[in-house]
Structure 1
Amino acid sequence: MELVTQFKSPWRRMLQPGGSSAIVASTGRDHVLEPKELTDLVGAGRVLNDTLEPARDPAGAPRPWDVEFGFVDGKLWLFQCRPFVGNDALKNVTALSALEGPVGKGTETVSLEEKLK
């Protein structure tokens, strides 16, 4: 499991029984998941990896999963599980490719102190 972003806010969005949502005060706790919830989530991730064939990027490497989940009364619910594909189509946009410049082999280094000309 990888933490992609971390953000603490005094507010959170809470789903309402009628189907809407409301902005309410956050709990103020330093953690979001209870230990059992974290264990359940890690277990679900293992099942997904063992069960589903991952999509592959153009180089053939497996893509990570985009999993949306929630807990209700301590029970894990998976809302969505799909390959994280990003947007490979943008790599084929000529105007954007021109901004990137040539792709090197990883042997060239640049100084972060040197000003661009």
Structure 2
Amino acid sequence: MKPDNPTQTVLYTLEQAIKAYRRLCQQNIDHVAANLTVDQALTLVVLNKFPELSQQQLAELVFKDKASLTRMLELLVQKGFVVRAMHASDRRKFSLTLTRQGQQLLGSVNSRATRGQ
């Protein structure tokens, strides 16, 4: 029995479209910040809009497991885009805040995205 050609399935087409869209997004981000990934940019967008989220909630919104998000946040902290501090009322949690540099970067990424370039 000859297997079906995977390029003729809806799932293959959907995956192909997602990858093409991510490449386009990455190209736009690269014009603003060469050291930022699509996932990191999405994390900054969500964190900027919802700064009170826990890391678990943030992970769910950016489609990452908790360990992956923790690694990504560490990179964003090292790059100077995010500050991680002890939560004011719960020592088991961290408070995540965009730095001025992170806010400026996010503004540049959003500006480029809205211009459609």
Question: TM-score normalised to the size of structure 2?
Answer: 0.25
Choose 1 or 2 for highest CA Rg: 1
Structure number with the higher strand fraction is 1
Normalized against structure 1, the TM-score is what?
A: 0.25
